[in-house]
Structure 1
Amino acid sequence: MLRIISANLNGIRSAAKKGFMGWLNDQSADFICVQELKAQQADLGPEILSPPGLHAYFHHAQKKGYSGSGIFTPHPVKHVQLGFGNPEFDAEGRYVEVQIGQLSVISVYMPSGSSSLERQEAKFRFLDAFLPHLIQLKKSGRQILLCGDVNIAHHEIDLKNWKGNLKNSGFLPEERAWLTNLFSELGYVDVYRQLEPDASDTCYTWWSQRGQAYAKNVGWRIDYQIATPELAQAARKAGVYKEQRFSDHAPLIIEYDWKL
């Protein structure tokens, strides 16, 4: 089984203090995709840069304490790509891709637009720039697994308070249409939803830090594993890990009947 984990850490040093690295070392995962590092290379100690038995690949933002993405894997990697060729968003450290054989695993941290109109406009620019890259990846004939914080809930079932968020970033019609196009027209697969088509309250991966959202399970499903069809068909088991809290997100874990 190929075991894949995706987790937004909202600060990798903060998550490490809450036990994330120890948990990661116990997971026997093939790839652990992490987002929102909020750290530069020089800020990280050996516990994070060189965990036992794992290689670590990070794409740091130029701005300190901001964004960032990474992948941990025990496997020797043939090729690593940092960024997807867009200067604006590559400067924010939003994309890491590793290749092993015919498989490409990607950790992506897509922008949030919730803080301001300017950031929402940046989010739309990201979506416009990222889609052609995903099209080219699919045309390459490789098996693609895109993991990360997409910052979009696709359907009403994917968040608790959908009626109250119809005009809010993360559930805007244009954002949801982007995902619909990705899945329905371009042929990528939302792997969690393929395995758990009816999951609602158990599907959430992020909770606001306001108003006891976690305690009341007022959550959103904004963390995904998105795959090309052949790989998606090999998915066997999916779950959201909530026994420990490392950040305001919970790790999404999916297992695939796939050999590297």
Structure 2
Amino acid sequence: MLRIATANVNGIRAAHRRGLGDWLASRGADVIALQEVRAQAAALPERAFGDFHVALDTGTLPGRNGVAVLTRRPPAAVRTWGGAALLGAADGLLVPVAAPDRVPLARGLERFVAEGRYLEVDLADVPLTIASLYLPKGGLPAHLQRPERMREALDGGARYARKMQFLDGFARQLTRTRRAAQADGREYLLMGDLNIAHTPQDLAAWRRNQQTDGFLPEEREWFGQQLSPRTLVDVVRSLHPEQDGPYSWWSWLGRAFAEDRGWRIDYHLATPRLARSAVRAVVDREVAGERISDHSPVVVDYAWP
């Protein structure tokens, strides 16, 4: 049995103050993907990754992004878009390592290389490639932007265009990477914060959010195009086909969390054989009664030898 989790920690220092360390120590996970680490190596808290080995790409933007994959044994290989990563063990010492890409980067992703948005590892003891992704949040196209309904400044659709460029390039990259894993005899599992709620089941207030970034028709269509019984499967939805949610993100404002008015935007997307082995999927809403982030970890048990 493999227990695999993904968690957007929204700043690892803040998450540790809210109980991330206890969750890492007690959850019994074999592999954990993290997003929004939001700290350069020198600013990480003590024992930031508990007793795990870690592969980390912090990116170069201070206080933003950053992805990691935590494993019980050192990974057999590490790959990032920028060609370098940090590796560390439980002693906390992080060392830079070369991490060349397996396949050339797809057109359109060059501008994202240094942002710390994607990292993948090959597990040492299981034929499995695991990736952690933090997909850009994006924004609204210019024709939907209204000052009275936006918290962010109007930008003429620049954030929207940037996300759509990422989606276009990442679709090609995802196909290449999945096929490369297959050619090596490995299953592939993409986890992370995709910043898209795919269907009305994945968003509590979907009717009034149909013109909200993260639930735009073109974003949802893109998501659906990445899934099929022959390529990638949404593991949590396959285990909970009729359930609304389980949601993984809630606003800090008001009673969204207490009333479970959330979004499901944190995913396990697995190749079909691995997806069929999934036996249980849960969202760890709280740790000892406290939220460690505005996201909650999504944990899946795979009956995988």
Judge same fold: TM > 0.5, yes or no.
Answer: yes
Question: Which residue pairs with 2:134 in the alignment?
Answer: 109
Deviates more, 1:184-193 or 1:22-31: 184-193
Q: 1:166 and 2:164 equivalent?
A: no
Q: 1:176 and 2:217 equivalent?
A: no
Check 1:186–1:136 CA distance in 2 against 1; reply closer, same or farther (3 A cut): farther
Q: 1:69 and 2:35 equivalent?
A: no
Deviates more, 1:75-84 or 1:141-150: 75-84
1:82 touches 1:96 (CA, 8 Å); kept in 2? yes
2:286 touches 2:292 (CA, 8 Å); kept in 1? no
Q: 1:134 and 2:178 equivalent?
A: no
Deviates more, 1:186-195 or 1:223-232: 186-195
2:226 alignment partner AA: L
Q: 1:253 and 2:299 equivalent?
A: yes
Q: 1:118 and 2:158 equivalent?
A: yes
Q: What does residue range 26-41 of structure 1 map to in structure 2 within 5 Å? A: 26-41=26-41
In 2, Cα distance between the equivalents of 1:207 and 1:66?
A: 20
Give, in angstroms, the shift of residue 167 of structure 1.
Answer: 1.0
1:241 touches 1:251 (CA, 8 Å); kept in 2? yes
SS of 2:267's equivalent in the other structure is: strand
Q: 1:208 and 2:251 equivalent?
A: yes
Question: Which residue pairs with 2:147 in the alignment?
Answer: none
SS of 1:66's equivalent in the other structure is: coil
| Structure with larger Rg | 2
2:129 touches 2:189 (CA, 8 Å); kept in 1? yes
In 2, Cα distance between the equivalents of 1:188 and 1:209?
A: 32
Q: What does residue range 14-53 of structure 1 map to in structure 2 within 5 Å? A: 14-48=14-48, 51-52=50-51
State TM-score, norm by structure 1.
0.94
Deviations 1:198-231 (Å, cap 9, x if unpaired)?
111x510001222321122110000000000000
SS of 2:227's equivalent in the other structure is: helix
In 2, Cα distance between the equivalents of 1:94 and 1:138?
A: 17
In 1, Cα distance between the equivalents of 2:158 and 2:30?
A: 37
Deviations 1:228-256 (Å, cap 9, x if unpaired)?
00000000000111132100001000000
Q: 1:155 and 2:180 equivalent?
A: no
In 2, Cα distance between the equivalents of 1:186 and 1:120?
A: 30
State TM-score, norm by structure 2.
0.80
CA RMSD of aligned residues (A): 1.6
1:242 alignment partner AA: R
1:69 touches 1:96 (CA, 8 Å); kept in 2? yes
Question: Which residue pairs with 2:277 in the alignment?
Answer: 234
Deviates more, 1:134-143 or 1:103-112: 134-143
The list of structure 1 runs, each at least 4 consecutive aligned residues, that deviate by more than 6 angstroms after superposition, is: none
Q: 1:97 and 2:141 equivalent?
A: no
2:302 alignment partner AA: Y
1:71 alignment partner AA: V
2:67 alignment partner AA: S
In 2, Cα distance between the equivalents of 1:185 and 1:143?
A: 14
Identity %: 41
2:239 touches 2:279 (CA, 8 Å); kept in 1? yes
In 2, Cα distance between the equivalents of 1:238 and 1:185?
A: 19
In 1, Cα distance between the equivalents of 2:227 and 2:128?
A: 19
The number of residue pairs the alignment matches comes to: 256
**Structure 1: any 5+ residue segments left out of the alignment?**
none
2:13 touches 2:45 (CA, 8 Å); kept in 1? no
Give, in angstroms, the shift of residue 107 of structure 1.
Answer: 0.6
Question: Which residue pairs with 1:10 in the alignment?
Answer: 10
Deviations 1:18-38 (Å, cap 9, x if unpaired)?
110221111221111110111
1:30 touches 1:75 (CA, 8 Å); kept in 2? no
Question: Which residue pairs with 1:144 in the alignment?
Answer: 188
1:40 touches 1:64 (CA, 8 Å); kept in 2? yes
Give, in angstroms, the shift of residue 186 of structure 1.
Answer: 6.3
In 2, Cα distance between the equivalents of 1:145 and 1:136?
A: 14
Q: 1:59 and 2:57 equivalent?
A: yes
Give, in angstroms, the shift of residue 80 of structure 1.
Answer: 0.5
